[in-house]
Amino acid sequence: MHLLRTRPLVAKLATGKVSNTEKAHYLLASFLMFTIAYYSGFVSGNTAWTLPSILEGLTIAGVTAIGLVKAFDASGGEDASDFVAQFTCLYVPISISTMLVVWSTFWATTIGFRESLIAISQSHMQFAVNLSRLGADMFSFLAFAAAVTVQGVTFYRIANSLADVRSLKNDS
């Protein structure tokens, strides 16, 4: 399995060299990856059922809907007979590498600039005041930005990779 690199997987998908068993392994890996990531605390969003968490959920849902449509179109739409399998397989290395970069940046920023982020959150800057009115602070804003960024970048990369698979299939 290609857990971090997409290119070799794109080539295998384009030539039909990913078996049904491997596809099932990719599907399992995608579910396990999200379960581990979200329950580990490494990727934390906002407290559930607050205004910030509802806004985050709605934003993620919107990005997901748009991203899936773009990915489906990039794969060839109705003519893409293997869209779900290709999407699932590509999702694993793309989401893992994207989450590692984005959430590592989040944690480096929140740990490295902790005092500055606290100072900004407690300041009278309009942005900080607006966040406070929503029940948020700079840390929850950065978590929101990280969650949305992961989703947006993941779908962007998947759409591009599906277009590559389609192009390579058409070339052969």
Q: Give the count of alpha carbons within 13 A of 23, CB side only.
A: 14
Strands (E), 81-161: none
Contact (CB, 8 A) for 50 and 135: yes
Task: Output the tens digit of pLDDT for each of the chain's 172 residues.
Answer: 888 899 999 999 999 999 878 888 888 888 787 767 765 666 656 666 778 888 888 898 899 999 999 999 999 998 988 899 999 999 999 999 999 999 999 999 999 999 999 999 999 999 999 999 999 999 999 999 999 999 999 999 999 999 999 999 998 7
Q: Can you state the angle between helices 83-112 and 20-40, rounded to 10 degrees?
A: 20
Confidence (pLDDT) at 35: 67
Name the residue ranges covered by the structural domains of the chain: 7-171
CB-hemisphere CA count at 13 Å for 32? 9
Quickly count: other Cβ atoms within 10 Å of residue 151's Cβ.
21
pLDDT value of residue 43? 66
- pTM (two decimals): 0.84
Distance, CA of 33 to CA of 154 (rounded, Å): 14
Q: How much is the pLDDT for 56?
A: 85
